[in-house]
Amino acid sequence: MPAIILKNICLKFQEHVVFDYLSERIEDGETYVLLGYSGSGKSTLLKVISGLLFPSKGEVIIGGKNIFSFSKVKMLELHKNSGFVFQNAALISNLNIFENLALFYQYHMNMKDDEIMERIQPFLKEVNWDDDLKLRPSMLSTGERILVSIIRAISHNPDFIFWDEPSANLDNLTAKKVDEIFRKLKKQRKTMILVTNNIQFGLPLADRVGILYNGKIIESGTPAEMKKSENEVTRSLLS
């Protein structure tokens, strides 16, 4: 059974049509890489799939049920079982690094600081984190903020992980760390959707690639299949 089914998703902002009866399936344990031109709505679609943004019409079906019919409690359960790596990290600027990482555990699990530290310590060690956790996000580099965002998204062991341009503007060392983390999660058969414009980063990680164009997924398939595509948009995005 597919982990996620998108059925006839429509979204308009005033007169601008973002999605026009968009449909797709993401299989359980699959890494699905979403490609598209800038402004095509990739990040917006990620927010719709994860339940952070409601469409004008359509369904996102997870576990056989449309998430947009969920009660607040059920939607909260979905979000507890999801991780989201936001574009540009989206850390809370007036909280320090530990406080940013602790939010999930304080809100959902009522855990104490020492228990939270025990949970996040292995992930900090994995990325060789040696900075003070009392620093604010503004004192970190772009790569460091992304690593904190990734730890925030994955340390509670979610089944669904949504990645929005995690490799953008990273130095080579940090990009390598992100790639290593992603591959480890892939081996664990997490269901992951990756939005990226960096095909050198995204294609080697993909089980399947989807092309978003003019409000629809116009084509999807394995990386090998997509490299043989005759579609001009697909060929342009993969070139």
Q: Are 170 and 178 in contact (CB under 8 A)?
A: yes
Q: Tens digit of pLDDT for each residue in 163-179?
A: 999 988 888 899 999 99
List all residues 6 or more positions away from 84 whose beta carbon is below 8 Å from its beta carbon.
Answer: 46, 50, 52, 153, 161, 162, 164
pLDDT at 195 over 80: yes
Nearest to 11 by CA among 65, 48, 39: 48
pLDDT of residue 120: 96
Residue with tokens 């409690």: 73
pTM of this prediction? 0.94
Q: Can you tell me whether residue 197 is helix, strand or coil?
A: coil
List all residues 6 or more positions away from 109 whose beta carbon is below 8 Å from its beta carbon.
Answer: none
Q: Tens digit of pLDDT for each residue in 40-92?
A: 999 999 999 999 999 999 999 998 999 999 999 999 999 999 999 998 889 99
CA 185 remoteness from chain centre: 12
Over residues 97-115, the mean pLDDT reads 94
Report the distance separating Cα 228 and Cα 139, nearest Å.
45
pLDDT of residue 115: 96
pLDDT of residue 1: 57
pLDDT at 238 over 70: yes
As given in the structure block, the two tokens for residue 222 are 């394995």
pLDDT at 105 over 70: yes
